[in-house]
Chains A and B, each alone.
Chain A
């Protein structure tokens, strides 16, 4: 059943009425109601990946967040310097839950904040000399660190520090990779450019630098899984059970060596296409490695993806794949049987980073839930092209929606669940709208794979059906009761 196209068009128009003229005109370009035509027309898409309006409470972050917070930060055996003033490193310290094995501070440096803590003198005289000292000190403090990355914050680019030269010099001196990453927060319009810059740095400084002793026909890479709450582990186990050999995991629980040998794989499997498409495309050109996007959210998409992956290999793998599915399907059916009756026909509004607003749809649909509006913080045109065909007619598709727009839409559409980030979360708690924080799974997870779907289903049920929502005395209701109506 589709949604009411005209009614939703009108709804969006009403919401955007609140803006001053110039901003309204801009925001209108970031909305589209899904139609049959949009679903089939490969090129029609709303405006995306352009600047946010000033003053609107955009949910977006910055390049630094995309590079350090997403791509580089989870590489566990390197030390990542937040190069610049204190804040950026502090705010991104351990907040994305990129799980990694190892001992923190010894051979795993993920949940740490290592910074140059720029002071006024560093701004005036530059931080290059200090950066050298920092790198030497890092090798003293963390003798098992395999490499260093320099994650530039805004001032570094503005004052024109030459972190490339310092990195080159220090790489020689310390005999380890030292990677400068120009991910200053003012670059680009969101996290997205930071992903790209981070990927370019991996390409230029790391990729192809080591060898894999023995290669095999089933060697694959997991690309674009950040192991939030253990996601990559819950994915990897399926690939390995199917008989594939995962030689590199990017970048959640990843290591420098995995990045360096990844070019030896026979296939790149990419989960977060938005943040790492640059890499698989490069590896295809440079090393002839084919790639495919897969989706391990929800059993339907997971079966589909597993089969599509297996289809690229021989019969052994294909048989293993069917056995794997046969083994897990009863478990998945049991989960669906339990939770679907509780979640069927619930209306969901999603607004997540650059991929999950479409990638997770299958998981909701497996539970009988309807996505009525979906949008991204920092998606590009290709993301929207892939989104329209996945959505029902009449669905509201939105780009970089502001806090104001989301709040209005959630209320006017009377949704049963909102999935977005921590900045949005508590607003919906006030409103009495069930909410899941879908950037780091609300401190739960994993959500990937079969192990992950069980937790996903349980979490959605817990969220939508919690008795706490019914305790909320909504003002309207209270007034009516008081008036004796």
Chain B
């Protein structure tokens, strides 16, 4: 009996069939396409040094940038708190985009509502939308806190969140004791990381102020609030588990301020519950009594750090994402410094194991030239990791590192870091540039590897360079965010990802005799 075998070619193979190739050629008679010669010339030109010069001289157009807008970050921050519903005040399309974008990265639902402002709100303001929206969303989705941020529409027309929310209370739509935190997040300022910071600061200051407590730094030690830790705009849920593991090894009490890993790593149980995990709202005012706060994305969390050191009068140790051995060493020293606890032996042992792994793999990494793309804190971490294993960062593009930092300047720090190692000598840092600039760099000065988000895949393909997906967003690979990249374990994960990409490339490009069994 013959087996029932249907051949079903998918989009990947179907359109390579002769009939479709013919269709495409036939269609050209209506397309008025450029000639093959014109196209070939334009392609070659786009890969030239001359083109690169023009590319870097453009002043106004932005092509394939590596950043999103503020409210996206605000939603992520809001989802870091227990039973908190993100509420986007402005036109509803934005909210749909934020929800889709985040869901595409985490492969998880993103609950968030909008006040659905339209033309009439553009004329009369969005107050009634906000008030109705609060009433409806609280009734339907039963949050314990609503966190309101704005879109550029609400910002341009100048809606006043504080008074609108006050009016909602006056009208009895929300009760006096129902918390509604808020922040302003115009999309024409900063990027997703700025928005994360705005909402984080908004929530911390709001919950603290309404609690009526007076911050007493260090007094929390007796009641258990020893250390606050903030991860920032964190695309890796695995990083939360890793930081917990590290803090628990220290045997310190701690509060993670903003932990969205529950929402973005919830179990499939047959029921959907809208809210999973997150920092308990009651823990926020108590966090003001901690000994100190550790920030793991110092550029992202600028305003929040200032708030904590200024208002809570706490010692704040701010690092960039602690990647690699040195980065993690610094993290452990910071925890030790803030808590007065010694670095646990178990972590030192883990360190040793990861260093052992690095020694095994270093021959395949040494001298590899890489291109890096990411947010400022991720880049500092990645640069550090590269330098300590002998990888040479060459082109470093950061689309959103150009906001005016008062105390710490990203460019200066990254520059100093690169200058501190001979492996950094070839690196050039491009702040405020985009991935079309990166394309020119990759084509005119080739590298061995590219490290960055899925958005980098187009430039990487044009330059025929393998892409190692790190950062946000990662749309086209699954589960990357579940594996930590920070801490020693994270260093091992990054190492595995990079070295095995190098080995894959060796196999893929072998010339016949070097298809080695052992490596």
Residues of A within 8 A of B (CB): 18-20, 22-23, 51-65, 77, 81, 84-88, 90-93, 95, 99, 101-107, 111-120, 122-123, 130, 133-134, 137-138, 140-141, 143-144, 146, 153-155, 157-159, 185-189, 191, 210, 212, 229-230, 233-234, 236-237, 240, 246-249, 253, 255-258, 261, 334-335, 338, 402-404, 407, 421-432, 444-446, 451, 454-455, 458, 472-477
Contacts and interface: CB of A to CB of B under 8 A. Distances in A.
Contacts of A130: 60
Nearest to B475: A95
Interface of B: 4, 6, 8-11, 14-15, 19-20, 23-24, 26-27, 30-34, 38-39, 42-43, 45-46, 54-55, 58-65, 67-69, 71-72, 87, 90-94, 96-101, 103-104, 107-119, 121-122, 129-130, 132-141, 151-153, 156-157, 186-189, 191, 266-273, 436, 439, 455, 458, 462
Contact of B46 (A61, A90, A105, A210): A105
B60 A133 contact: yes
Contacts of B270: 430-432, 472-477
Contact of B62 (A57, A87, A117, A188): A117
A91 B68 contact: yes
B469 to A, nearest CB: 15
A194 B504 CA distance: 46
A454 B129 CA distance: 46
B136 A19 contact: yes
Nearest to A423: B99
A14 B107 CA distance: 31
Contacts of A18: 139-140
Contact of B266 (A118, A157, A430): A430
Contact of B272 (A106, A233, A430, A472): A430
B119 A56 contact: no
3 tightest Cβ-Cβ pairs between the two chains A and B: A62-B93, A55-B133, A87-B69
A404 B187 contact: no
B109 A427 contact: yes
Given A113-B64, A475-B270, 6 more contacts: A52-B92, A56-B137, A62-B94, A88-B93, A99-B11, A153-B152
Given A105-B46, A431-B272, A475-B271, A95 B104 contact: yes
A112 B110 contact: no
Contacts of A458: 8
Contacts of B436: 105, 141
Contacts of B14: 230, 234, 446, 451
Contacts of B64: 93, 112-114
Given A445-B11, A476-B270, A422 B65 contact: no
Given A87-B187, A187-B118, A430-B109, A107 B6 contact: no
29 contacts: A23-B135, A53-B136, A54-B129, A62-B94, A65-B97, A81-B61, A84-B188, A86-B65, A93-B64, A95-B100, A95-B104, A105-B46, A116-B60, A116-B62, A117-B65, A123-B186, A141-B63, A191-B93, A230-B15, A233-B20, A233-B23, A258-B31, A402-B140, A404-B141, A431-B270, A451-B14, A455-B8, A472-B269, A475-B270
Contact of B156 (A114, A159, A234, A249): A159
Nearest to A410: B272
A186 B121 contact: yes
B151 A255 contact: no
Nearest to B10: A455
Given A130-B60, A255-B31, A430-B266, A85 B19 contact: no
B94 A185 contact: yes
A84 B65 contact: no
B109 A91 contact: no
B103 A422 contact: yes
B95 to A, nearest CB: 8
A269 to B, nearest CB: 15
A186 B153 contact: yes
B97 A92 contact: yes
Contacts of A234: 14
Nearest to A153: B152
A87 B72 contact: yes
Given A87-B68, A106-B39, A141-B63, A155 B188 contact: yes
Given A60-B92, A86-B191, A186 B26 contact: no
B473 to A, nearest CB: 9
A88 to B, nearest CB: 7
B132 A86 contact: no
Contacts of A58: 92, 96, 114, 116
A335 B34 CA distance: 41
A60 B93 CA distance: 7
Contacts of B54: 140-141
Nearest to B138: A55
Contact of A338 (B4, B9, B23, B141): B4
Given A91-B97, A91-B101, A338 B34 contact: no
Contact of B153 (A138, A154, A432, A476): A154
Contacts of B20: 233, 237
A92 B94 CA distance: 11
Contacts of B68: 86-87, 90-91
Nearest to A234: B14
A105 B272 contact: no
A123 B155 CA distance: 10
A430 B268 contact: yes
B11 to A, nearest CB: 5
A55 B439 CA distance: 41
Nearest to A27: B136
Contacts of A56: 113, 116, 133, 136-137, 140
A473 B269 CA distance: 6
